[in-house]
Structure 1
Amino acid sequence: MRIRVIGAPIDLGADRRGVDIGPRAIRYAGLTEQLQRLGHSVNDVGNINIPLPENQPTGNPRLKYLEPITKLAEELSGTVSDALQDEEFPLILGGDHSMSLGSISGVARVHKDVGVIWVDAHADFNVEDTTPSGNIHGMILAALAGIGDEHLVNVGGWAPKVDKNKIVIVGARDLDEGEQKLLREHNIHVFTMSDLDRRGISYVMQEAIEIAGANNGPIHLSLDMDSLDPREAPGVGTPVRGGLSYREAHFAMEMLAESQRLVSMDVVEVNSILDRENTTAQLAVELTLSALGKKIL
């Protein structure tokens, strides 16, 4: 596989600083070298230029940093589309989860029937009226589904980016009240940690792959490192206890690799300031390798 690594060190979408160092930390953990050992070729094109929050007006307190976030999304969308058109696999490193508005928009421009597997402790399905924080990283999946502020929804000039029936959230365990109502209203497929406890990771991922990749369609994986239990991934901005175990996360990635449906991937929310000895970044590399074909035997 030919892989294009793209860094998107944005921290405008969240309250806590530190995720802007995430792409550097993941690279430092040996991403390129280990992908090459798997037999992939790697084209690391560096980072998209992101303005510092200190240099930007916050704007609407219920849609913080809306203008620079949508501007980044437009640029990242084009970069990701270019990678796919050059027959390279886009691997986008965050940064907070607001970057996925750009990454998935870019994929959807090329793969119009793409499904999304959103592995996350949170659903990121808020809108301006439901958000308790105003942080846009909690609104991105709704925007991709065509729900929410028009500036977010219409990045790239069209909406929705993803069919709601092909969106699957895996590992959710911290949902806002208004967000819960929206998820039910729009019939979004959500596998909570209770579902994983009841049915097991194998069943849940098989269902997720069948839903997101319906009719043998392409899948984008968005991996938020806070989907893992904080004991495994301490370096995240919004940790929630009771997350995926080390092996559950790896098995989920291995199943995605075996499906051969994955066309793109982003890894987000590695917060190096909160991490311990780059543990979370190292785990991000390990999980990426599993998603891209590494096997135990």
Structure 2
Amino acid sequence: MNEEKKVSIVGVPMDLGQIRRGVDMGPSALRYAGLIEEIKSLGFDVQDYGDIHIHRSTTGTDQEQNLKNLQEVIKTSEELCLELDEIISKGGFPLVLGGDHSISIGSIAGISKHYKELGVIWYDAHADLNTAETSPSGNIHGMPLATNIGLGHPYLLNIGGYSPKIKPENIVIVGARSIDEGEKALISEMGIKVFTMHEIDRKGMTAVMEETIAYLKERTDGVHLSLDLDAIDPVDAPGVGTPVLGGVTYRESHLAMEMLAEAEIITSAEFVEINPILDNKNQTADVATELVSSLLGKKLI
């Protein structure tokens, strides 16, 4: 990334896409971990736009068609979409701080309209390809990737006024190790490229990222990184709502971010699902801050 470029930060303290409280404090945890100061130390002009207002129901939790908090997620997604649309129009690199992973419904809606062929790297233990029909839980944070390829509730699909936001062939999922049956069928049907932990173990992260970069470079004009901290093993990132053992290591994740920085393909990013209540002395936010630094080009030497 060009060091003259602006990094524009938006926090989305959303915890309505799932049921475990605490992930709404993720943006605060990242700022407390010194994220903004770290990015500035790399020579970037940083503008923090603060946090998107989260609309909360005064009548309690609604569940509509197996979709928890649907109306609240829609309102927040629309506001985030507008905010990122404006940021990109001003020439900033959008860096979104979650919040649960449902925020990517709004973030990708605001970003994708600026690209003809937006690519997405979904760095996550989960595929997030459920719909109301296939979701075991009704939690919308397990549905954003499906929504972005045009599957799901019409109101979610139409955030930003268009659908789909991304093509299945422009997606690479990295680090998956917990995939529901309906998601497996969709991955096969749509031909979505997935590097599970099995592939990472067999090939090594270097080969996985080389393949990911080569695959997206030839077919996209911008790439959004959506990084869920639960992709990383709970030993290194304990503060997440849905931890899954056997994840990507801290060092492998650093390598992945460094390779993406060298390839200069990432045009926007979001870091999601940090839950300080479940964390150990803000360890997970510290890890995320270091990964952001590597993505933005920080080197050891």
Q: TM-score, normalised by structure 1?
A: 0.97
Verify the 8 A CA contact 1:26 1:285 in the aligned structure 2: yes
Which of 160, 185, 194 is the equivalent residue of 2:189? 185
Verify the 8 A CA contact 2:65 2:132 in the aligned structure 1: no
Aligned counterpart, 1:30: 34
Which of 190, 207, 216 is the equivalent residue of 1:203? 207
Q: Percent identity?
A: 50
Aligned counterpart, 1:175: 179
Structure 2 gaps, min length 5: none
Q: Secondary structure at the match of 1:197?
A: helix
Letter paired with 1:228: I
Structure 1 gaps, min length 5: none
Aligned counterpart, 1:232: 236
Cα deviation code 1:115-161 (max 9, x no counterpart): 00000000000011110000000010011011122222221111110
Q: Secondary structure at the match of 1:168?
A: strand
Verify the 8 A CA contact 1:165 1:211 in the aligned structure 2: no
Aligned counterpart, 2:89: 85
1:280 aligns with 2:284: yes
RMSD: 1.2
Cα deviation code 1:236-279 (max 9, x no counterpart): 00000000111100000011111111110000000010000000
Cα deviation code 1:167-212 (max 9, x no counterpart): 1100000011111111111111111000001111011111112223
Please give the alpha-carbon distance, in whole angstroms, between the structure 1 residues aligned to 2:67 and 2:218: 33
Aligned counterparts, 1:146-185, within 5 A: 146-185=150-189
Please give the alpha-carbon distance, in whole angstroms, between the structure 2 residues aligned to 1:22 and 1:206: 30
Verify the 8 A CA contact 1:64 1:135 in the aligned structure 2: yes
How far is the alpha carbon of 1:55 from its aligned partner?
5.1
Please give the alpha-carbon distance, in whole angstroms, between the structure 1 residues aligned to 2:221 and 2:229: 25
Cα deviation code 1:1-31 (max 9, x no counterpart): 2111100000000111110000000000001
Aligned counterpart, 1:136: 140
Aligned counterpart, 1:119: 123
Please give the alpha-carbon distance, in whole angstroms, between the structure 2 residues aligned to 1:138 and 1:294: 32
Aligned counterpart, 1:18: 22
Verify the 8 A CA contact 1:216 1:261 in the aligned structure 2: no
Q: Secondary structure at the match of 1:265?
A: strand
Please give the alpha-carbon distance, in whole angstroms, between the structure 2 residues aligned to 1:64 and 1:28: 30
Verify the 8 A CA contact 1:120 1:226 in the aligned structure 2: yes
Cα deviation code 1:75-121 (max 9, x no counterpart): 10111111111001000000000001111111101123110000000
Which of 283, 289, 292 is the equivalent residue of 2:293? 289
Q: Count the aligned residue pairs.
A: 297
Distance 1:64 1:111, change over 3 A: same
Aligned counterpart, 1:7: 11
Letter paired with 2:106: G
Aligned counterpart, 1:72: 76
Q: TM-score, normalised by structure 2?
A: 0.96
Which of 250, 253, 275 is the equivalent residue of 1:271? 275
Deviates more, 1:99-108 or 1:213-222: 213-222
Please give the alpha-carbon distance, in whole angstroms, between the structure 2 residues aligned to 1:234 and 1:55: 33
How far is the alpha carbon of 1:69 from its aligned partner?
0.6
Please give the alpha-carbon distance, in whole angstroms, between the structure 2 residues aligned to 1:19 and 1:131: 20
Please give the alpha-carbon distance, in whole angstroms, between the structure 2 residues aligned to 1:54 and 1:137: 21
Please give the alpha-carbon distance, in whole angstroms, between the structure 1 residues aligned to 2:60 and 2:86: 28
